[in-house]
Structure formats: structure tokens, C-alpha cells
Structure 1
Amino acid sequence: MKRVVKKLRSFLSDKAYDSRDIHNLLHENDVKSIIPPRENVSALSRGSPSRAKTARQTRENGEDR
């Protein structure tokens, strides 16, 4: 996936791609991502600040997970 990410500008996926590793990889390569968080996502920053930010924003906006 690392080879493909370098060519991407944006990434749209489903909940299956909601992981720290994927969020970090996309963030490191300046790829804009839309990945809905899983139901059990934590809003704490445990290895992925961008994933935690998405989880907090989702909860604050009252969006369905």
C-alpha cells in the first residue's frame, strides 16, 4: 500500500480501513482521507492523532458511526 499512497491525493473508504497504521500512513504522505470510524473507536491519541481527531469530530457532530 505504501507505493500506492505516494500517488494519492485523497482516500475515501469504509470502516474496514479505520486503523492507526492507515491513518498514520495517509497523514505522513499528506493524503486527505475520509474514513468513518468504527463503533468502538477511542477518541484518545494512542498512536494516531489524526484518527483520534476524526473520532472526536464525529462524536461532537453527533454523526452516526
Structure 2
Amino acid sequence: MRLRSLASMSVLIVLAAQLGNAQEKAAVGSKAPGFTLQDQNGKSRTLDELVKESNVALVFHRSADW
């Protein structure tokens, strides 16, 4: 029974990983989709709002420490 549970969990993990990879990848230089986040003061800011104010550079850093 324990082996069956381990095997089932392994299959689910592999399937979940494959579904995560199925997303369409953005090309370098393509426009980011709109999103809303809170700034350091707790105010909600949209990407479109920030782009209107000045230039915006989005940097995504992926670390092995995750």
C-alpha cells in the first residue's frame, strides 16, 4: 500500500511538472501582459500606469536557492 501511494504521488508530481511546462513561453523583447501589484507604500499599481509614467524594465531572476 505504501509503495502504491509513493508511485501515485510520483506520477502526480511528474504530471504537474509537465503541465507547468506546457505554458507558452514569452519571446525575448515581447510585451508583458498587464498585471497589478502593490508598491512599497501599499498602493496598487498597474504595469500600464507605470509605463505611462516612465520607462519600465522587468527583470525575473531565477535562483537555485528556491
Q: Which has the larger radius of gyration?
A: 2
Asked which structure has the greater RCO (Cα within 8 Å, sep 6+), the reply is 1
Q: TM-score interval w.r.t. the shorter chain?
A: under 0.3
